[in-house]
Structure formats: structure tokens, C-alpha cells
Chains A and B, each alone.
Chain A
Amino acid sequence: MRALTWHGNNDVRVDTHPDPEIVNPRDVILKVTSTAICGSDLHLFDGVIPGMKSGDILGHEFMGEVVETGSRSTLKKGQRVVVPFTISCGHCFFCENQQFSACDNGNPVEKQDASEMLYGHAMGAAFGYSHLTGGYAGGQAEYVRVPFSDVGPIIIPDGLEDDKVLFLSDILPTGWMAAENAQIERGDTVAVWGAGPVGLFAVQSAMLMGAEQIICIDHHPHRLELAQQFGAKTINFEETHVREALMEMTGGIGPDAVIDAVGMEAHGFVADNVLDVIKQKIGPGADRGHALRQALLACRKGGRVSVPGVYGGMLDKWPLGAMMEKGLQIKTGQTHVQKYSQDLLRRIGEGEIDTTFLISHRLPLEDAPMAYKNFRDNQNEWTKVVLKTA
């Protein structure tokens, strides 16, 4: 099969690989029909996440048709499904408590050591996202092996085309959980840093959850226009003093909740052996923590901080004093995708949520390397790329 393959820093290519096969009883094999490039993939493209190996297949936002089923799968050949990026067993303590991204049983045992050492607990598993999260082949490919197929994949009713439901795999539930973590109350102002896919879905979700005012911060005019379409006010950080503006737009109080949908190139995503590499890269890149620091300082006293943006290691100049003295609450984490699947699918079906506005480019899988480059370097116009395999 053909698949988008990581070869190194700034080097992804579409290569030929052996087709995947059923390995475990709960697996299915999917023939991928649509797959997207995520902001998280750019962290891999930029080569700042260790635990990648040349030859790894990328992609954690994908959907397709079931073509093969393991003996314990409950799916049937021919079914169309969207697959959550988090690989979750459905039966451990965390899965039973709807904390799917913390699943104990998705990340292969040998791959857990690095993150267990680094974070105190092993990371959950994900598709196409380095060997720290399991070394699973991703879905930017013609075929993909999907474990735990009886609990993860979302069966899509006929009549809902791919582009409407594809983002159930990651960015829609991520924006939704980001807004939920902001614990929105009546009259709230919610400030969202980043008008990328995650930030825009956070805006849309916060609106549905009843925020009084949403203020989205970025520097790409077109992306900010998309936020405006959902009723958000905008701040362009290249033109405006962000904190001052936020105070003035909230009657001197500051936003009640802040959402960091920017994230940081995961410089600290480290196991021992890569610490040195990481150290070299810190410096200019470490400034990427800027959005989160700004959000913490802007947030009102007793306010709420929601962090969907990905961080991997240590952040210096963390305004811990501001957090403590203002009594801020912080909620973060990889998205518990499976928790939100059915509710969000229903909202899409009923027309309450539209996801297609985001897609700026639909391209064949073979064009993926060019699409990676543009999604990173021309962010204003390239808001989201969907790759088609057929």
C-alpha cells in the first residue's frame, strides 16, 4: 500500500509498505477514504518529537471502510467508521471512567518505559504518533490496522459524507473538551489563543455552551475571520497588546476562562537519550510557551485555564505565582475522544455543528508531502487539509 512516511526532520514521503494484517483478535483493517493533517503532525514534521523512526507511517485523523475483521471485533465488513486518534481498550479503570486517553492497555509494554520515566506514568497510545505512544502505524495511508475496534470506531450512518464527520477523530472533540474544561458559566468571557483547527472548534463549542463573549487571538487574518463567523471577537496579536485588550474588553476583570489552543513544539518530549538534542533546540523555540504564559497572566482571579495545546516537557518561566495568588484552576490533557463521539455525531447529524467550513484543501494522498509544507508555512490560507486515497 501507499502511505505517508516519516524519514526525518522536514522529510516526509509517500512510500510503498506491506499491507497491514489482523494481528490481535479485536483488530479490524480499514481501507482509508479520508485522512487529515493535524497541527500535532507538524510537531513530527518539524522533528521535535523524539521516539520517531525513519519509516514510521503518520496520521491520526482518518476514516474509512472496514475490509477485514478480527475474531473478536464487533464491526462488519463494509461499515464506514471514523476512528478516534486515542487507542483505548474500553475496559481498564480509565476507560470505564471515560478518561480514554489515559487508557492503561493501548501502549505496548516495552514502549511505556520512556514516558513512565519521564512523566511518572506511561502515556496512552495513539495512531502514527511516535514510539512513545506505541509506534502504531498511522492512517495517512491506503490501509490501517485499528486495534480495539469493538469500542473505538464510530459507525457513520449513510448520508453523512466524509468531510462532515472526519474531524470526530480528533480536532472536533478536542475543541469541545477544551470548552468543557473551561467550565463556562452564564455571562462568561472565554479567550481562546490560536485560531487553528483546535481553536476554531473550541470557539464553536464555547458558543454552544453559552459563553457570553468569546475572544479569539491569532495573527492570521483569514483564520481570525473564520472565528468571527462563529460570533467570536478577535485580537490580532501583531497589531494589539493582547492583555491590555482583554482587560478593556471585559470591563477590567479579565476573561473568566482562557483556552490555550496553540501548544508548544514539544521540545521537552524527552527520554534520557534525547535530552541533549532537546537542549540544543531550546532557545528560540522555547518562546513558544508565550501563549500559555500570556493566558495565565490574562485570566481573571479565580478563573479557569484549559490547555488542549500539546506540551511535552519542561517549560521555564512558568508564572506559578500568578496561578497560585490568583487561585486559577487548570485542566488539560489529550482528548478523551470516545467520550464525546456519540453526542458530537448527533449534533453534526442535526446540523448544529458544521465542520466543513474548516477544510481549505482536498488533495490526493500522493500530494501529502507538499500539503505538510503548506499547512505549516502558509497557515493563513491552509486552514485544514483532507487527503483522499481513492
Chain B
Amino acid sequence: MSEPAHDDAPKRARRDDTEGNLAIVGRSITINRPRAELYAYWRDFSNLPSFMHAVKSIRMEGSDRTVWTIKAPAGQTVEIETAVTEDVEGEVIGWDSTENSQIETKGRVTFADAPADRGTIVTAEIAYTPPAGNLGRLVAKLFMAEPNIQARHELKRFKMLMEAGEIATGDNRKPTDGDE
């Protein structure tokens, strides 16, 4: 029997959203800014912690390796090392975890023109293996228990920063301790 025909929905919206042993999550968002500007901001990885709140810092190792320090409970941190696997200016950035990484993950963010000058459709897709071990479980709980929500929140913060120039908060006072 041949493969059943698929519809046009992206993998992440299908009932079967796995690819081999990888679970796929992701989200699209339309941002009312030019494609080149959004790509450039994202491609400078040191900008990412400004809207990815679980990411404490990002360090470049050589030309294409990046070490992400992720916040964990009780002041702990977890490190994920990734390498850029795909990079087309203004269109796509892809990365894959390396053998030094504590969890296996790969991701891809694409930038496409929205219709009628509505800006850019930014799509982030992340695939990951549900991690094993104590540390893995910790990270999963913190970072990946709701990876869809995480992706959604990060893209929305990115949009706020790009469109409004700041990230909305209802707080009436500045945070007293930057590193909570």
C-alpha cells in the first residue's frame, strides 16, 4: 500500500508530530518588520537572551559553535552546545546539538515575506528527543515540558521587541534583582 496522501498542514500541526525519535514543536508568528532586519537580529546570537528568558547567556565557541546556558532551579544551569547547520541570509538559520550537548535537539527558524506588506512570517521549529537521566528530566521539566508554550512565548517576545521596541510588562517597578 502506498503512503496516505498528506494535507498541506505543517508537521508540527499534525496529529503525528514526530519524526523518527524526535518530537517536533514550533510556531509561526507575523511580525510587522522587514525580513532582513529580523534575520540580522536573530543571527547575532548574543541578542537571543533578550527575548528567550530561559536562556541565561550565549557564548560562541569558534566560528559556528554556540554554548547556551539555560537557567535551572536552585541557581543551577545546564549547557547545550549547538552548531549552525544551515544559514541563508534573510531566509533561514538552522542548528543542531553537538556530541557535547546534554540533550539532543535541533532547530530551524525561517523568515518569509508576509502577503500585502504585512511584514515577515517567522517560523521556529524545534525537534528534540525527550531527554533521559536526572539532569535530562530536570531540563525537560524546566525547558521542554511545554516546549510549544515556550516557543510561543519566545516568538511573542521577539515580536514585541521588534515591533514595539520593548517587551510589555504589567509591573509597576523595575525588577530589583536582574538574575532571579
13 contacts between A and B (CB under 8 A): A23-B173, A25-B166, A26-B166, A89-B168, A90-B164, A104-B160, A105-B160, A105-B164, A108-B167, A109-B160, A113-B149, A134-B170, A137-B172
In the A-B complex, the 4 residue pairs with the smallest Cβ-Cβ separation, listed nearest first, are A135-B170, A89-B164, A20-B172, A24-B166
Contacts of A134 in B (CB 8 A): 168, 170
**Which of A91-99, A286-294, A335-343, A380-388 lies on the face that meets chain B?**
A91-99
B168 touches A109 (CB 8 A): yes
Give chain B's interface residue range (CB within 8 Å of chain A).
20 to 34
From A93, A105, A108, contact of B119 by CB (8 A): A93
Contacts of A23 in B (CB 8 A): 169, 171-174
By a beta-carbon cutoff of 8 Å, the part of chain B in contact with chain A is 30, 32, 118-119, 149, 153, 156-157, 159-160, 163-174
Residue ID in chain A nearest B171 by CB atoms: A23
| A302, chain B: closest CB distance, angstroms | 31
A106 touches B30 (CB 8 A): no
A113 to B168, CA, bound (A): 14
| A121, chain B: closest CB distance, angstroms | 12
Given contacts A93-B30, A93-B118, A104-B159, contact A145 B153 (CB under 8 A): no
| A111, chain B: closest CB distance, angstroms | 7
Residue ID in chain B nearest A89 by CB atoms: B164
Which residues of chain A from 311 to 347 have any CB-CB distance to chain B below 8 Å in the complex? none
Contacts of A93 in B (CB 8 A): 30, 32, 118-119
A24 touches B160 (CB 8 A): no
A66 to B123, CA, bound (A): 40
Contacts of B166 in A (CB 8 A): 24-26, 72
| B169, chain A: closest CB distance, angstroms | 5
Contacts of B168 in A (CB 8 A): 24, 87, 89, 105-109, 125, 134, 147
A379 to B162, CA, bound (A): 46
Which residues of chain A from 202 to 223 have any CB-CB distance to chain B below 8 Å in the complex? none
A104 to B118, CA, bound (A): 14
By a beta-carbon cutoff of 8 Å, the part of chain A in contact with chain B is 17-18, 20-26, 72, 87, 89-93, 96, 104-113, 125, 131, 134-137, 145, 147-148
B170 touches A92 (CB 8 A): no
Which among A89, A105, A147 has the greatest number of chain B C-beta atoms within 10 A?
A: A105
From B156, B171, B172, contact of A112 by CB (8 A): B156
Contacts of A87 in B (CB 8 A): 168
A25 touches B159 (CB 8 A): no
A90 to B166, CA, bound (A): 12
Residue ID in chain A nearest B155 by CB atoms: A109
A22 to B174, CA, bound (A): 7
A202 to B165, CA, bound (A): 36
B32 touches A25 (CB 8 A): no
From A26, A72, A90, A109, contact of B156 by CB (8 A): A109
Contacts of A108 in B (CB 8 A): 167-170
| A117, chain B: closest CB distance, angstroms | 11
B159 touches A105 (CB 8 A): yes
B163 touches A91 (CB 8 A): yes
Which among B159, B164, B166 has the greatest number of chain A C-beta atoms within 10 A?
A: B164
A26 to B171, CA, bound (A): 14
Contacts of B159 in A (CB 8 A): 92, 104-105
A136 touches B173 (CB 8 A): no
From B32, B170, B171, B174, contact of A96 by CB (8 A): B32
